[in-house]
Structure formats: C-alpha cells, structure tokens
Structure 1
Amino acid sequence: MVAQAKTVVITGAGSGIGAACAALLAADGVQLVLIGRRAAPLQQLAAQYGALALDGDAADSTRWPGWLAQIRQRCGAIDGLLCCAGGLGMGSALQTDDAAWHAAMRANLDTAFVAARACLPDLIASRGAMVLLASIASLAAGPEVCGYTTAKHALIGLTRSLARDYGPHGVRVNAVCPGWVKTPMADEEMQPLMQQYGDSLDQAYARVTADVPLRRAAAPEEIASICRFLLSEQASIITGAAIVADGGSSIVDVPTLAFNALS
C-alpha cells in the first residue's frame, strides 16, 4: 500500500508507535519529518530513513514557524500529519497537582492541537490527512489515570472538531484508539505488576490481556499500519472516525467476566 501523502510530519517519532509509523511510511517512499523531545533517537531514525529530524516539544507554538520553514525548504508542503506524542497523567484526581495536570494536557492534547494548527494551512492546500493517536483511554477510564484519561478523551473531541471544520477543505482527520501496545512506555507500566506478582515482562502483558478476546497486546507495527491506511487514498471517505484497535477489549461486558470460570 502506497501512502497518499508525499511529506508526512510525525510528532512523538522517536520511539514506539511513532517510530513504527516512520518505518512503514519510509518503505512507501514518503518524505518524513520526525519531531520529538529526544534528539538522539530522532537523529538515528533520520539517518536511517533520510528524514528531517526536529527535536523539541511539539506543544511549543514558538517552535513551529522555524520548523515549518525548514520543512518547506527541505521537503516542500506538508501532505500528512501523525500526532503520536503522549504519555504522563498517572494518578487519581487527589493525587494530581496542578503541574501534573498541565503536563498531562500538554503531552497528550496540546501537542496534537498545536501541531494540527501549524500544519493545517499546508494540509488545506494539499487536501491532506491527519491522524491523532488516541487510546482506549479515550473511551473508558482505567484506575488512577485521571490526567491521561481526560486528555485522551479530549483528543476525540479535537478529532471531530477538526474533521467537521476542515472537511469542506478536503482535509481528513481521524483518531486511532489502541489498547495495550508493546512499547517502551507500556513496558514501564508493567513494572508494578512485575514487582507485585514476580512476573516477567511477557507474563505481565499476558496478565493485562487475560480478558481481551485476542489475548495479547498489539505490536507497534500493527497500529502503525492503521495510521498508514488512514493517510492513504484507500481511506479517502473516512473522516472524523475513532478507529479502535484494542484486540477486542472494549467489547467485553465487564459484569459477565465472573462467568468465564464456568466455561
């Protein structure tokens, strides 16, 4: 599948799903612009894929005029945007101080909004596409992840608002909602289970997916393939959608889980 977009900007590109998206799109011959807070992994990926690496916080609106100038000089106009930056926001409301709350909003929501606003003029001109990396935390609440859950829910609202306003200009905007994905961030989230139960990393993933119909976490490449599809011509009629990619976890009727032991 060849992606429709010719130049794609990826935020949160240094690892995990963002890096997997970079690999798939590079294989399609797409010109890549990789944005992230850590320079070293960006530079490594940029060297591998012939991409433009821009290190910094995608939520910092003061960085975008300079970045856009570099992008247009190197790659031309922007045809696609993948907002993969995210994280933070752990803790219940009483455990979340103002600084932690604002950090969660900045990492998950502001990065997407500021990037979208900066890239929209180019996307309107190219009739391009945008994908926001949301989560099943956009659809339901886990325990003690108040900031993350709230920000990810807001990403769905941002997706729909952008799709509604800029669809008449030919811009498509969709969200992808993964469940557990084997990434460095998720590996860290397995640590409490590993400590509590003496699990290996694989056993911890098996524990958190025990009630997921497919009984496993996703690979980053599986989520990246959905993002690539949503940027492609094959998805030309899809906009404003929240594509759930969670192995079926969101279809499980939680009150019936007690009956599993009977089957």
Structure 2
Amino acid sequence: MTEQRVVIVTGGGTGIGAATARVLRAGGHQVVVSGRRAGPLAAVAAETGAVAQVADTTDETQVAGLVAAAVERFGRLDGLVLNAGTGRPGAVGEVTVEDWEAVLRTNVTGPFLTLRAALPHLLATGGGAVVGVASVSALRNGHGNAAYATSKAALLQLCRSLAVDYGRQGLRSNVVCPSWVRTEMADRPMGRLAALGGHDELGAAYGEATRLNPQARAGEAAEVAEAVAWLLSPAASLVNGAVLTVDGGISAVDPGTVPFGFRVERRED
C-alpha cells in the first residue's frame, strides 16, 4: 500500500482533466485518469506517470471497475475529481430529448455513479476530498444552453449534498466553476462562433466571447487545475460545500454597467 494520496480524475485525457493530472502528479500524488478514449489517456499517462483506465462514467459496471482498479493498484483512495462532461446546444423548445438525456447522463448521472462507487473508499481514509468541475453556466445562463446549464447546476448541488451528508465523516466536497477555458471541448463552439463572425482563427472567437470579462481573456486549463489541486489539499481543510469561480471575474459583472465601460464616476458630496 502507498502512503501517497491517490486521486481519480474522470475525463482525464484532455483539457482540464489532463491539466489536473499534471498538477497532481507534480505535487507527488498518485493519479488514475479515466475516460472513454484510450489514446488521450495513454498520452497523459506517458507524460505524467499517471495510470490510465478506460471507463465510461455513465456505465455503472465500468465505474465500479475504475474505482476497484485504483484501490487494487494503490490500496486507498483519497480524492476524486468529477471532470467528465459534455454539452449539446439548444433552447428548451429546441434541444432533442436524446441530446437532453445524453448531457444529463454524462454530467449528472455519471458523477452520481462514480461517487456511489468511490464513497466507501474515500470514507475509509478519513473522508477524502471531492471536486466537481462545473461551470459558470451553473450560476448564470446563456442562449441555447438549457441542457448544459441545467446539468452543471445539478452537479453543483450533488457535490453540496455530499458536503452536508458526509461532512461529519470527514469528507469535503467542493465545486469549481470555470468560464471559457481553452480546451478541446471549448474549441468546438468557438469554431462555430468563428465561422459566424467570419474569423479565420479560434483566438479571435475566444477574444469575442471574453471581451466583457474583466481579465479580457479565456482561461488556461492549468489555471483551473491549480484551483482543483488546492481544494483537494489539506490547505483547504475547512473549505466544504464551496463554489469557487475560476472565471476571470465574469460572474461578478453587472451587465447593466457594460454601456458605461465599467467606469464609475466620482460624486462630490
């Protein structure tokens, strides 16, 4: 058995999941990355020394196998990063039932099944820590985003339920809510935006999407990964049931101030 902290990262082959594996491995953790595609997982494992385990989190049997493999390999489980996710566009009257169910299955039921399998092992190590990777879409909404926003709000409350129900047993459960982060998943809608705007490069689309952000840029996956790693760590020992926005400040913006260019005029009393 290892005395190093052991963490499972779902959706660990690309984007925020892969960046989280890098940060955790650099910090001395043992990491198991999971996902549906063997190729990206193998690349992350080769780069970082993480263990790759192909598993579809929407499949209860595969999730049970993922957790069992991690515990068999390392003898314990200390942390879980619920990062696997998907999105399908559409307003309530437009999104198909199939797309709705696919998003909810991946973004809510998958984390639920993973938690059910992992909880006994997390509690056995004194509680452990869970971090859900949600989105500012859990807090704010946009056009044609019904399924994704609903699923991320549900993930937020699923993680808060853990904090309430298992906090006395030592479990901590928190959520990060990123805004636009340059990832493979985000590149797809940015590609559509670029085409609509006549842009040749994704960078222009990211710039357009983040022009109202106080930091005026998209995030990098490593920036979110650092926040995830902190929430998993003993440094966040009293942080439980929290929602940490990692969004450059966009969720703090009052849209009604936008026409004023964020300027506040000084009043003379």
Q: Does 1:85 align with 2:87?
A: no
Structure number with the bigger relative contact order (C-alpha 8 A, sep ≥ 6) is: 1
Cα drift, residue 195 of structure 1: 1.0
Q: Identify the residue that residue 222 of structure 1 maps to in structure 2.
A: 223
Q: Tell me how far 1:67 sits from its aligned partner.
A: 2.6
Higher mean alpha-carbon deviation, 220-229 vs 38-47, is at 38-47
SS at match of 1:78: coil
TM-score w.r.t. the length of structure 1 is 0.95
2:181 maps to what in 1? 181
Corresponding residue for residue 19 of structure 1: 18
Report if aligned partners of 1:5, 1:232 keep a CA contact under 8 Å in 2: no
Percent identical among aligned pairs is 42
Any idea what the Cα deviations from partners look like across 1:27-73, whole Å, max 9, x if unmatched? Answer: 11211111101111111212222322111211211113333332222
Q: State the Cα deviation string for residues 143-182 of structure 1 (Å, max 9, x = none).
A: 1011001001111111111100010100000000001101
How far apart, in 2, do the equivalents of 1:261 and 1:174 lie?
Answer: 31
Deviation at 1:191, TM superposition (A): 1.3
Query: For 1:207-238, what per-residue CA distance to the aligned partner results, in whole angstroms no more than 9, with x for missing partners?
Result: 11111101011100000000000000100000
Instruction: Determine the C-alpha separation between the residues in 2 that align with 1:5 and 1:213.
Output: 39
- Find the aligned partners of 2:229 and 2:189 in 1 and give their Cα distance: 27
Partner of residue 129, structure 1: 129
Is contact 1:92-1:146 (8 Å) kept? yes
Q: Aligned partners of 2:117 and 2:210: how far apart in 1?
A: 38
Q: For residue 37 of structure 2, what is the aligned residue in structure 1?
A: 38
Alignment of 1:63-212 (within 5 A): 63-126=62-125, 127-199=127-199, 200-212=201-213
Match of 2:233 in 1: 232
TM superposition shift of 1:198:
2.1
Cα distance in 1, alignment partners of residues 193 and 64 from structure 2: 43
Amino acid paired to 1:214: Q
Contact 1:5 1:128 in 2 (8 A): no
**What TM-score comes out, normalization by structure 2 length?**
0.93
Alignment check: 8 A CA contact 1:5 1:231 kept: no
Letter of the aligned partner of 2:57 in structure 1? Answer: A
Distance in 2 separating the partners of 1:176 and 1:65: 25
Gaps of 5+ in 2: 265-269
CA distance in 1, matches of 2:123, 2:15: 29
Per mean C-alpha deviation after superposition, the further-off stretch among 62-71 and 132-141 is 62-71
Map of 2:246 onto structure 1: 245
**1:45-56 map, 5 Å:** 45-56=44-55
Alpha-carbon contact 1:5-1:79 (below 8 Å) kept:
no
Aligned counterparts of 1:139 and 1:261: Cα–Cα separation in 2: 21
Q: Could you say what secondary structure the match of 2:84 adopts?
A: coil
| 79-88 vs 220-229, which moves further | 79-88
The answer to whether the 8 Å contact 1:10/1:34 transfers is: yes
CA–CA distance in structure 1, aligned partners of residues 106 and 63 of structure 2 = 16
